[in-house]
Each structure stands twice: as structure tokens, then as C-alpha cells.
Amino acid sequence: MRYIVWALRLIVFLAVLLFALKNTDHVSVTFYDDWVIQGVPLIVVMLTTFILGTVFGLLLTVPGSLRRRRELARLRKDLERIQAAVNPDAGATTPPELLMPMSPL
């Protein structure tokens, strides 16, 4: 399985590399109709846009992720509280290693 993942990574890397090598034309990037950057390679513009989109997409997932973590922590505390109420002497039991004899080396 590990070799398949590395083979897929190599294929994706080669596809991106070939795509980058074919898109080296220079373009003008215009911001708000008065600020222009001349002669930027197209691949730089595309990679910058991709990276910014990825970062913004990840930032949009952070609040939901944090909310789920808080909910999970709350549910775990509730579960521990309920288990303690159902079985109050569960914490007072002797550890299993003290009950079983140790095997000889």
C-alpha cells in the first residue's frame, strides 16, 4: 500500500511539473484597474491563486472543527460522569496485573 501511495504522489508531481513547464508565458496582473504587475509567469499566478484558495478553504473549516472538538470533549465528560454514576466502585478495583501471576522469564 505504501508503494502505491508513493507511485500516486510521483504521478501527481510529474503531472504538475509538466503543467508548470508548459505554462511559462508572461502575463500582466491587474489589481483594481490602476495597479498592474507586468511580466509575471503564468504558473506563478496559478500557483499563488491555488495556495490562497487552499488557505482560505482551510480557514473556513477551522470554526467547525473547533466546535466539534469542544462537543467531543463535553460528551466524553458526560460519558465518564454517567459511567461513574452507574458503576461507582469501578475506580476502586485492583489493577489486573496485581490479580494475575507474572509469567517466568
- Decide if 48 is inside a domain: yes
Is 23 contained in some domain?
A: yes
Is 34 inside any structural domain?
yes
In a domain, 94, yes or no: no
Q: What is the pLDDT of residue 47?
A: 82
Answer whether residue 88 is part of any domain. no
| Residue 28 in grid coordinates | 500582466
Taking the complete model, does pTM exceed 0.85, yes or no? no
> At 48, is the secondary structure helix, strand, or coil?
helix
Q: What share of the chain is helix, strand, coil (3-state, %, to 5)?
A: 65, 10, 20
Indicate whether 91 pLDDT > 80: no
Q: How many domains does the chain have?
A: 1
Percent of the chain past pLDDT 70, that is, above it, reads: 85
Domain extent, residue 45, equals: 16-62
Is there a domain that residue 46 lies in? yes
How far is 42 from 66, CA to CA, in rounded Å?
Answer: 37
**Within a domain: 50:** yes
Contact by Cβ (8 Å): 26, 44 = no
Q: 3-class SS at 58? A: helix
31-46: per-residue pLDDT in tens? Answer: 888 888 899 988 888 8
